[in-house]
C-alpha cells in the first residue's frame, strides 16, 4: 500500500490542490492528513470541504482544537490568534461539526498518526525536545512507525532501542530497517518553515517499507494576495515565501 501523509495545510488551497494533483499521479491508495488544515491561510472552508470530498483520513491539529474551544486561543501567540479569529468568519456550522468529530490521533496500517507528538499530543513540538525527551516519547507507545506534523519541518527520527538519530528525507526513497522504530515529521503543505517554500508531503510505501519526501511548487503569489484580500495579516502572506 502507498500512503500519502500530509499536515499543516493552513487554509492554503493552491498548495493543497497541487499536492493532490501530484498524489493523483503517484499511485496512492490512501491519504492521511495530520491537522492544522486551517489558520493563517485565506481558504479554510475550501480546504476543509476538499478534505471531506476526497475522503481523506483526518485528525485534529491545535488550530482545529482552538477553533472548537475559545479558551485554548489564550495559549496562541497574538498573530496566530488573530489569524484564527479571521478564519472563524469563514467556517460554517457544518464545518465546525466536522471538526468536532475529528479524533486526536489515529491508528492505520499499524502506524500511529498524530498532529504534534506521539502518542496523542496535539501541541508538543518534536523539534523542541531533547534526545532524552524523544527517547521517552518512543518508550511511551509501541508502534514501529509514527507520523506527526506541527513543526512545519521535515524530519526523520529513528530509535534502535538505545539511541535516537536524525536523518535527511528527500525525494529519493529511504528504506526503513525492520528492527528500528521511526517518527516521521512530514513537513507542511501550506506553510513550510524549513527554508523551502514549496508544499511538502511524504509517501510511505508499506510494501517496500520506504519513505519519500515530495516538494511541490505552487502559485505562492496568488495565495499571498488572497491572504490580504480576505482580511488576514501581511505577516501571514510574507511567511509563505
Contacting positions for Fe ion (CB under 5 A): 8, 36
Q: Which is nearer to Fe ion, 8 or 64 (CB)?
A: 8
**DSSP 8-state secondary structure symbol assigned to residue 173:** P
Least Å from the CB of residue 191 to Fe ion? 7
Least Å from the CB of residue 210 to Fe ion? 26
List the alpha helices (DSSP H) in 101-163. Answer: 131-139
Q: Where are the beta strands (DSSP E) in the chain?
A: 2-6, 30-33, 57-58, 105-108, 111-114, 145-148, 154-159, 164-167, 174-175, 181-186, 199-205, 210-216
Q: Which is nearer to Fe ion, 152 or 181 (CB)?
A: 152
Least Å from the CB of residue 119 to Fe ion? 19
CA neighbor of 41 nearest in space, from 64, 9, 19, 12: 12
Q: Which is nearer to Fe ion, 8 or 236 (CB)?
A: 8
Least Å from the CB of residue 234 to Fe ion? 19
Please tell me the distance from the alpha carbon of residue 47 to that of residue 60, in angstroms, as a whole number.
Answer: 14
Helix (H, G, I), strand (E, B) or coil at 14: helix
Q: Which is nearer to Fe ion, 7 or 164 (CB)?
A: 7
Amino acid at each position: 500500500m502507498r500512503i500519502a501523509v500530509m499536515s499543516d495545510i493552513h487554509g492554503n488551497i493552491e498548495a493543497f490542490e497541487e499536492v493532490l494533483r501530484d498524489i493523483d499521479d503517484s499511485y496512492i491508495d490512501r491519504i492521511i492528513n495530520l491537522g492544522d488544515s486551517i489558520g493563517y491561510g485565506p481558504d479554510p472552508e475550501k480546504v476543509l470541504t476538499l478534505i471531506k470530498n476526497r475522503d481523506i483520513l483526518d485528525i485534529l491539529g491545535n488550530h482545529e482544537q482552538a477553533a472548537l474551544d475559545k479558551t485554548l486561543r489564550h495559549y496562541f501567540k497574538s498573530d496566530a490568534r488573530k489569524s484564527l479569529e479571521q478564519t472563524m468568519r469563514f467556517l460554517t456550522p457544518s464545518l465546525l461539526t466536522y471538526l468536532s468529530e475529528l479524533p486526536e490521533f489515529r491508528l492505520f496500517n499499524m502506524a500511529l498518526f498524530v498532529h504534534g507528538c506521539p502518542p496523542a499530543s496535539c501541541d508538543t513540538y518534536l523539534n523542541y525536545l531533547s534526545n532524552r525527551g524523544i527517547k521517552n516519547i518512543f518508550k511511551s507507545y509501541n508502534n514501529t512507525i509514527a507520523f506527526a506534523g506541527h513543526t512545519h519541518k521535515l524530519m526523520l527520527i529513528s530509535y534502535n532501542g538505545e539511541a535516537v538519530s536524525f536523518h535527511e528525507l528527500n525525494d529519493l526513497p529511504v528504506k526503513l530497517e525492520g528492527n528500528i522504530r521511526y517518527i516521521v515529521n512530514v513537513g507542511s503543505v501550506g506553510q513550510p518553515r524549513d527554508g523551502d517554500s514549496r508544499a511538502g508531503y511524504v509517501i510511505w510505501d508499506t510494501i517496500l517499507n520506504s519513505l519519500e519526501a515530495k516538494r511541490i511548487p505552487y502559485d505562492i503569489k496568488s495565495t499571498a494576495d488572497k491572504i490580504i484580500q480576505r482580511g488576514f495579516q501581511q505577516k501571514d502572506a510574507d511567511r509563505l515565501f
